[in-house]
Chain A
Amino acid sequence: MPNVRVVNVTKKYGNVYALDNVSLTIHDKEYFSLLGPSGCGKTTLLRLIAGLIEHDSGEIYIGDRRVDQDPPEDREVGFVFQTFALFPHMTAWDNVLYGPKVKNYDSKQSETIGHEVLELVKLSERLDAYPSELSGGMMQRIAVARALAAGGKILLLDEPLGQLDAKVRNEIRYEIRRMAKDLKLTAIHVTHDQAEAMSISDRIAVMKKGKIIQIGTPKELYMHPNSIFVAHFIGESNFLEGYITKIKGKYATVELRQGLTVKALNEREIKQEERVVLAIRPETCEMKIGYITAENALQGKIDKTTFEGTIIRYEIRLENGDRFVINRPSLTEDWVEIGQEVTITYPLDKAHLFPYPENGLTNETSV
């Protein structure tokens, strides 16, 4: 039914590609996130689907119907804006009933819908208040209720939690997902917050500079990033530069700076002597006190420690001068002092090898 298909869509502003030949399919009843840094084109894509801006080329389908020439009011989508865009001259109740009224539902039917959606967003008080009199959380609920009341089967959310403080944001994000799932809606959620996208999405499209870099479930993106950018943007990674000196089966030996050698899974089948970047997640590493000789070990000294509540973050200066970060549980392990010599080990299949990017590592990881 209402799956959304975007086929070879391009949108330019002047000479800048906001979207460059983008294609993707969002399944019926899926909670899908568009994730990426500012200016990556995620909001442009969402607005194109809603019909709020016009594309230069390509096709957009909702269900079997091609909609890219239709005005927004004919696409039957609900849109929640980052700024909520609640009509300031209407009360919360009038805002919610706006869609049914415009669609010429009779007043009894409109009111029934209004009460239903307000029950869903758990808001039944202060309905006579104007938007300026409501808290951020309440405005957000009204904005969602208004979008739901209009009756579309597709819910488009443009950074819907961006204006809320951290505590409320964490609460509401799960509620939005629950509502979308309860109502069997297809939801497309735009965010630049990877933690938000990871926690609520069935699938995520990671975008950069008008292109989709990778689409996958949160686990796939985290465990198997297809690029340095995704490895960097989703979660955290240590990047070590080197050359492949030897290949044996699925594994490669990598010579890091100053002759330090380690092994890693060569899933991209990069050739010997090529320049590479080794990406290792801080959470996958083990850390032992003192220098221990092992086949796949990195040695260094603790440079800095940061207490972050449930974890302690250690910044380690490796023997070759590279910086390496690992996170350890703060309550179940003894804390290690600054200056302490440590050995880091990691599972071979959790270290990802990527070809060294043409435009440099710094450029590739910049957001």
Chain B
Amino acid sequence: MLSKILNILNYLSSKKTIKYALYFFAIIIFFALILVPPIIGILTKTGSLENIFENPELMDTALGAISASFIIGLVVSALDLIAGLPLAWLIARGKSKWLSVLDTLADIPFVVPTAALGYSLLLFWSSSGGISDLFGHPFVSPGWLLVMLLHFTFSFPVVVRVIVGALMDYKMEYERASRTLGSPPLTAARTVTLPIIKPSLIAAFTLAFARSLSETGATFIVAAGVFLNGPVFIQTVSNQFNSGAISQASYEGATVFASLILIVVSLILFALIRVIGQKMKLPFGHGLASLEKKLSYKKAVLSRNGVALGVFLLIVLVPSLFVALPAFQALATGTTFIDVFTGSGVWASYWQSLFLSYGLAAVVTVLGILLGLPMAILIARKTFGKIVSGVLDTLINIPIIVPSIALGISLKFFWSNISGLPEFILLVFAHLAITYPYFVRSMSAAMERITIDMEEASKTLGAKPFTVFKSIVWPITKYSVLSGAIIVFTRSVSETGATLAVATELQTAPVLIVNWVNSVRTGLSTIVGVNELTVGLACGLLILFSFIILLILRLLTKKGNV
């Protein structure tokens, strides 16, 4: 039976029409489901812009919030690079066996859902029980500084991960050549290594910037009503509309205005970063070598590593996990423990939201693989030529670049034209649009690492295209597929902005946490049975599940040496 199916698949895969039909289907789905709806959605509502032009106060607030988004994004991404580079260097080049532990620790804030992360940071930096106890008053009050700390915390691991990857792939021969030509280590790094890995540094900066622009849930928590950036502004306006504080016209005008500017400015900025970044060259720095020589050895290296570790532990890791403290306190009270696991009271909605989050993530991951795989092959193998492949490669980045709440708002407008579409489907579409690029990216990168020779060798030995895929491409790339799938899964579980934008009834875990935190911290829309301990425990459990996922990720990727 199985061999019959394989024969049929082999037969079908050898038919050019079927192969190209599959590729065209992948392209059509990409345009129809991922790329076009957000563009059309926002464009259909441009008529509502006049509502905000009539309300200059609201427009000023929106513009102020959007500028804050871009300023924070740019500053945080730059700080990420400055602080992330020494840590990435230590992880990639250090010789201690403990560095693999550090490598794993560096990933933790990446997989912790940002809503839980936001609450953890709020507790650590500005609540009693946290670092504020040392000073007798909130060390960092909710506001722009806390937002910056938050954005630094969740984007830092992304930057470190990308740079570690680049340093691992980097051919050490260049650096060695530089050393034999007279460069001390720091000069070799500045003049040779960093310029060569510049594309990865730009990619790291871009990803950090995109994450900062997109993040909604956690920012909403730490902004605590005293600070607005783009996504928080959109969410605040949505909340005001839902509570009847503003009219639909003002709501639509403000959200379309903010989303449009966020989308357009993001696209322009990313294009600029790409163009300027590629052309930008560091000056050679005549005469710096002697200073760099002093900074290259023992004491200076120890101090640099010490600062890098200190920043990571004190600003990233400890604040990220601080929420575990109230979680343990909550578990210590027996009744809470029983309530949690019997699902009574507010915990019923918690488990519901958790199941929704993981169910949604699973559906999105499966769809992402099915729809993304042909696209990844198309891009990596340049099936339709270099130009088409390059264009598709650029276009799939757009959903990463566009702030997710703006994407969500746009998708909501687009799909609301089709009446009767269940909210779950809407959520699937939104999450698919946001996570699709991550899978295609990692998969096409993995495909590019396999030389075409192997596939051709397999073909000359008589294998049909499906057998080539099954026996050559799949065994080599399966761990990349798995790690890509896990990135999609965790990203979907973490996603708050687009979820808040498209769903009014369904509540995913991060959305529930945002609501619970609001209930506890602001007293607005109070939820009976929710207190600081329950929120702490909810976050703690979410982090625990994230740890398990991280562990699986590490085990799977280690097994496959990817």
User: For residue B289, which residues in chain A have a CB less than 8 angstroms away from its CB?
Assistant: 102-104
- Given A99-B181, A102-B183, A104-B290; A81-B192 close (CB under 8 Å): no
Asked whether A147 is an interface residue with its Cβ less than 8 Å from the other chain, the reply is yes
Q: Is the CB of B284 within 8 A of A101?
A: yes
- Say if the beta carbon of A98 comes within 8 Å of chain B: yes
Give the complex CA separation of A208 and B356 in angstroms. Answer: 65
Q: Decide if B61 is an interface residue (CB 8 Å cutoff).
A: no
Residue among A50, A83, A87, A103 making CB contact with B182, cutoff 8 Å? A103
| Cβ of B509 to closest chain A Cβ, rounded Å | 45
State A51–B181 Cα separation when bound (angstroms): 12
Cβ of A72 < 8 Å from any Cβ of B?
Answer: yes
Are A147 and B179 in touch, CB under 8 angstroms?
Answer: no
**Smallest CB separation, A134 vs chain B (Å):** 16
Contact B187–A102 (Cβ < 8 Å): yes
Contact call B180/A150, Cβ cutoff below 8 A: yes
Contact at B196–A87, with CB atoms within 8 Å? yes
Chain A residue with the shortest CB-CB distance to B285? A101
B286 part of interface (Cβ distance < 8 Å): yes
Q: Is the CB of A146 within 8 A of B286?
A: no
> Do the beta carbons of B174 and A73 come within 8 Å of each other?
no
B386 at the interface (CB under 8 A from A): no
CB A146 to nearest CB in B, in angstroms, measures: 7
Q: Which of B183, B192, B289, B293 has the most CB of A within 10 A?
A: B183
Q: Chain B residues with Cβ under 8 A from A99's Cβ?
A: 181-182
Could you say which of B177, B182, B287, B297 contacts A85, with CB atoms under 8 Å apart?
Answer: B177
Residues 157-180 of chain B: 1 if any A CB is under 8 Å from the residue's CB, otherwise 0? 000000000000001011011111
Q: Are A71 and B171 in contact (CB under 8 A)?
A: no
Tell me, yes or no, whether A108 is within 8 Å of chain B by CB.
no
* Complexed CA–CA distance, A87 and B198 (Å): 13
- A52 neighbours in B (Cβ, 8 Å): 176, 179-180
- Check B178 against A77 for contact (C-beta < 8 Å): no
Kindly list chain B residues whose C-beta atoms are within 8 Å of the C-beta of A355: none
Across the interface, do B173 and A150 meet the contact criterion of CB distance under 8 Å?
no
Other-chain residue from B174, B180, B290 in contact with A50 (beta carbon distance below 8 A)? B180
For the complex, is B143 an interface residue (Cβ under 8 Å from A)?
no
Q: How far is the CA of A265 from the CA of B138 in the complex (A)?
A: 95
Closest CB in chain B relative to A251 CB, distance in Å: 52
Q: A102-B191, A102-B289 are in contact. Are A85 and B171 (CB under 8 A)?
A: yes
Instruction: Determine if B177 and A87 form an interchain contact, defined as CB atoms under 8 angstroms apart.
Output: yes
> Is A89 part of the contact surface with B, judged by Cβ < 8 Å?
yes
Contacts A88-B196, A102-B191, A150-B182 given; does A72 touch B284 at CB 8 Å: no
Residues from 180 to 210 in B contacting A, C-beta threshold 8 Å: 180-185, 187, 191-192, 195-196, 198
- Chain B residue with the shortest CB-CB distance to A146: B181
- Whether, in the assembled complex, A225 has its beta carbon less than 8 Å from a beta carbon of chain B, the answer is no
Assess the B181–A102 pair: CB atoms within 8 A: yes
Q: Chain B 275-287, CB within 8 Å of chain A: the 1/0 string? A: 0000000001011
Interface residues in A204-233 by Cβ distance below 8 A to B read none
Interface size class of B (residues with CB under 8 A): 20 to 34
Q: Measured between C-beta atoms, what is the minimum distance from A365 to chain B in Å?
A: 33
Min CB distance A193 to B, Å, is 21
Which residues of the partner chain B approach A102 to less than 8 Å between Cβ atoms? 178, 181-183, 187, 191, 289
Contact B182 A89 (CB under 8 A): no
A308 to B174, CA, bound (A): 40
Report if A79-B183 is in contact (Cβ < 8 Å); known contacts: A87-B196, A104-B286, A104-B287. Answer: no
Shortest Cβ distance from residue A50 to the other chain B in the assembled complex, whole angstroms: 6
Indicate whether A78 reaches chain B with its CB closer than 8 angstroms.
Answer: yes
B184 touches A73 (CB 8 A): yes
List chain A residues, Cβ under 8 A from B196. Answer: 87-89
Contact present for A77 and B180 (CB under 8 Å): yes
| Partner pick for B184 among A71, A81, A88, CB 8 A cutoff | A71
A52 to B184, alpha carbons, bound, how many Å?
12
Separation of A88 and B191 alpha carbons in the complex (Å): 12
Digit string of B285-321 for contact with A (CB within 8 Å is 1, else 0)? 0110110010001000000000000000000000000
In the complex, which residues of chain B have a beta carbon less than 8 angstroms from the beta carbon of A150? 180-182
**CB pair B180 A78 closer than 8 Å:** yes
CA distance A150 to B180 in the complex (A): 9
A334 to B181, CA, bound (A): 56
B180 lies within 8 A of A79 (CB): yes
Q: Are B177 and A73 in contact (CB under 8 A)?
A: no
Q: What are the residues of chain A within 8 A of B173 when measuring CB–CB? A: 81, 83, 85
Q: Are B178 and A81 in contact (CB under 8 A)?
A: no
Residues of A close to B178: CB separation below 8 A = 87, 98, 102
B180 x A147 contact (CB < 8 A): yes
Q: How far is the CB of B61 from chain A (nearest CB, A)?
A: 45
Taking CB atoms and an 8 Å cut-off, the chain A residues in 1-55 that contact chain B are 50-52
A71 CA to B188 CA, complexed, in Å? 13
Q: What separation, in Å, do the CA atoms of A103 and B293 have in the docked complex?
A: 11
Q: Which residue of B lies closest to A53 (CB)?
A: B176
Task: Identify the closest chain A residue to B292 (Cβ).
Answer: A102
User: Once the chains bind, are B174 and A85 in contact (CB under 8 Å)?
Assistant: yes
Chain A hits for B174, CB < 8 A: 85, 87-88
A95 to chain B, nearest CB (A): 9
Alpha-carbon distance A86/B192, docked complex (angstroms): 10
- Please indicate the chain A residues that have their CB under 8 angstroms from the CB of B176 in the complex: 50, 52, 72, 79, 81, 85
**Cβ contacts under 8 Å, A85 to chain B:** 171, 173-174, 176-177
What are 23 residue pairs bridging A and B, where the CB atoms are less than 8 Å apart in the complex?
A50-B176, A52-B176, A71-B179, A71-B297, A72-B179, A73-B180, A73-B181, A73-B293, A78-B181, A79-B177, A81-B176, A83-B171, A83-B173, A86-B177, A87-B192, A88-B196, A101-B284, A102-B183, A102-B187, A104-B290, A146-B177, A147-B180, A156-B180
B residues with a Cβ closer than 8 A to A are 171, 173-174, 176-185, 187, 191-192, 195-196, 198, 284, 286-287, 289-290, 293, 297
A residues contacting B by CB (< 8 A) are 50-52, 71-73, 75, 77-79, 81, 83, 85-89, 98-99, 101-104, 146-147, 150, 156
Known: A102-B191, A102-B289. 5 other contacts (CB 8 A): A72-B179, A78-B181, A79-B180, A88-B174, A102-B182
Which 6 pairs, one residue from A and one from B, show the smallest C-beta to C-beta distance?
Answer: A79-B180, A85-B177, A99-B181, A72-B179, A85-B173, A150-B181
